Amino acid sequence: MLIGSFVVRGLGFSYPFLSYHLDGLGFSTSTTGWIVAAFGAGYLIGQIACGWLSDRIGQRATLVTAMAAAAVFLPALGELRSTTGVFVAAYLTGVIYDAARPVVSAVIADAIPTEAEQARVNGWRHFAINSGAALTGALGGYLAVRIGTGALFWINAAACAAFGFVALCFLPGRHVAVHPQAERTGYGEALRDGRLWLLSLASLCALICAGGVFTALPILMTADGLDAAAYGTTQVANGTAVVLLSPLLTPWLSHRAGAKSPMTGLLAASGLILGVAMGAAGLSDSTLSYSFAAALAVPGEILLFIAAGDLVTRIAPPQSRGLYAGLWGTNLAMAIMIAPVMTAWALDHGGDLTASAVFFGIGLVSAALCWPLHSSIHEVKTSPAIRESRPPRLSRRR
């Protein structure tokens, strides 16, 4: 699953190069914006749907079906020329683009018994995904010049088909852990879980900063007159930091996950680090300073994904881990849509200083939300009456 995640992310050219592809087809800026928005909407729906399906029809069936669909939708997006056809294909591609994320989360939670080992595997999963992201930009740019952007969608489709075949061969035909005695949690109950709301809000704020490294940085750098090559340098710095820091932080975080207390403190730290990193980006004006900000964000990214994964596993009913992982995954989809819009607004209403303050403020909000989150998890864990009931609503205590 980790190797498959790396390959699918590393060859996942469809989203990063979608705008370039649409520009090559002659679409207007406005039309391109709507098509990219359709992709984002599909991404959000796909996280929920795939998480829900992994609990209902099984992890293998969900992943194989999603990857088979990707093998059809991705070439269609690369070959279609009509506005309507491209719009529909972009939406459907968004649905399956990151379908593996909630499914693999559920596989890890079910197949690995201890929280420390889950954190270790999630750390290497984050390493694989981010290493793949670094490969996407470098390899995709090289191939786009030589074989065209349309061919990138076929390569993406082949990677998804290969991952689906691996899932078909190696994943069991049913859940690794089956809970016949437990009733599955539905959307209604999950959405009434106050802990999930607090975790989602804290994660969304941190993810806006983390996503800003990829979506807001180009806007900030363009405003400072820096070209695409300079942006590529920042991504190399970010990827290098991932390679260097992941082997150092992952063992420590694995040990920390084995403790009884939830990783809310580390989630708060991730929000602060990411807020500071993107705040520094807002004040940057050179390739070197932007690269430093991109590298500074990496410890926050590692803490965020490992701590959030640990907390999702802690609060999710065992029979509904896919659903909870999928609902959490929607925060990533929302973050990559919010970050560029928020950055453009900040630049229009105060410039670099405002952008810096907004990002830093969002990081502070993320950290502040971890306080009531920690209290709500502790209350549920220590109260048998609450533990045996359905997920709690947000506390109204003053």
Please say if the pLDDT value at position 183 is more than 60: no
Instruction: Band the pLDDT of 257: cuts 50, 70, 90.
Output: confident
Residue 293 is predicted with a pLDDT of 95
4 within 8 A of 166, measured Cβ to Cβ: yes
Q: How far apart are CA 201 and CA 240, in angstroms?
A: 29
Task: Record the tokens describing residue 85, joined without a space.
Answer: 């056809």
Token look-up 């453009």 returns 344
* 387 vs 90, residue with greater confidence: 90
Instruction: Band the pLDDT of 171: cuts 50, 70, 90.
Output: confident
Closest CA to 131 of 216, 8, 16: 8
Report the pLDDT averaged over residues 147-175.
89
Please say if the pLDDT value at position 281 is more than 70: yes
For 234-247, what is each residue's pLDDT tens digit?
Answer: 877 888 888 888 88
Residue 52 is predicted with a pLDDT of 84
For 306-321, what is each residue's pLDDT tens digit?
Answer: 899 889 888 888 777 7
Residue 277 is predicted with a pLDDT of 96
Give the burial class of 3: count Cβ atoms within 10 A of its Cβ; 0-12 exposed, 13-18 middle, 19 or more buried: exposed
Please say if the pLDDT value at position 184 is more than 60: no
Report the pLDDT averaged over residues 280-292.
93
Closest CA to 46 of 12, 86, 91, 104: 91
DSSP string spanning 331-351? HHHHHHHHHHHHHHHHHHTT-
Please say if the pLDDT value at position 181 is more than 90: no
Please say if the pLDDT value at position 332 is more than 90: no
- At residue 83's C-alpha, the angle toward residues 334 and 34, to 5°, is 25
Closest CA to 267 of 331, 323, 185: 331
Please say if the pLDDT value at position 397 is more than 70: no
Closest CA to 241 of 188, 191, 286, 294: 294
Residue 68 is predicted with a pLDDT of 96
Residue 186 is predicted with a pLDDT of 60
Report the pLDDT averaged over residues 150-162.
94
- At residue 322's C-alpha, the angle toward residues 128 and 333, to 5°, is 60
Q: Which of 86-100, 155-169, 179-193, 358-372 has the lowest mean pLDDT?
A: 179-193
Residue 179 is predicted with a pLDDT of 46
Instruction: Band the pLDDT of 272: cuts 50, 70, 90.
Output: very high
Closest CA to 22 of 83, 69, 109: 83
Please say if the pLDDT value at position 398 is more than 50: no
Residue 84 is predicted with a pLDDT of 94
Residue 393 is predicted with a pLDDT of 45
Closest CA to 275 of 221, 216, 208, 374: 208
Instruction: Band the pLDDT of 128: cuts 50, 70, 90.
Output: confident
Please say if the pLDDT value at position 49 is more than 80: yes
75 within 8 A of 346, measured Cβ to Cβ: no
Report the pLDDT averaged over residues 257-285.
90
Q: How far apart are CA 376 and CA 364, in angstroms?
A: 19
Where is mean pLDDT largest: 7-16, 215-224, 374-383? 7-16
Q: How far apart are CA 208 and CA 227, in angstroms?
A: 23
Closest CA to 395 of 380, 370, 376: 376
Q: List Cβ neighbours of 273 (8 Å cut-off, separation of 6 or more).
A: 296, 297, 299, 300, 303, 363
Residue 228 is predicted with a pLDDT of 63
CA atoms within 13 A on the CB side of 68: 9
Closest CA to 175 of 328, 63, 30, 19: 63
Closest CA to 311 of 297, 327, 298, 335: 327
Instruction: Band the pLDDT of 265: cuts 50, 70, 90.
Output: very high
For 192-203, what is each residue's pLDDT tens digit?
Answer: 788 889 999 999
Q: What single DSSP character describes residue 182?
A: S
* 124 vs 84, residue with greater confidence: 84
- At residue 203's C-alpha, the angle toward residues 200 and 204, to 5°, is 80
Q: How far apart are CA 274 and CA 71, in angstroms?
A: 35
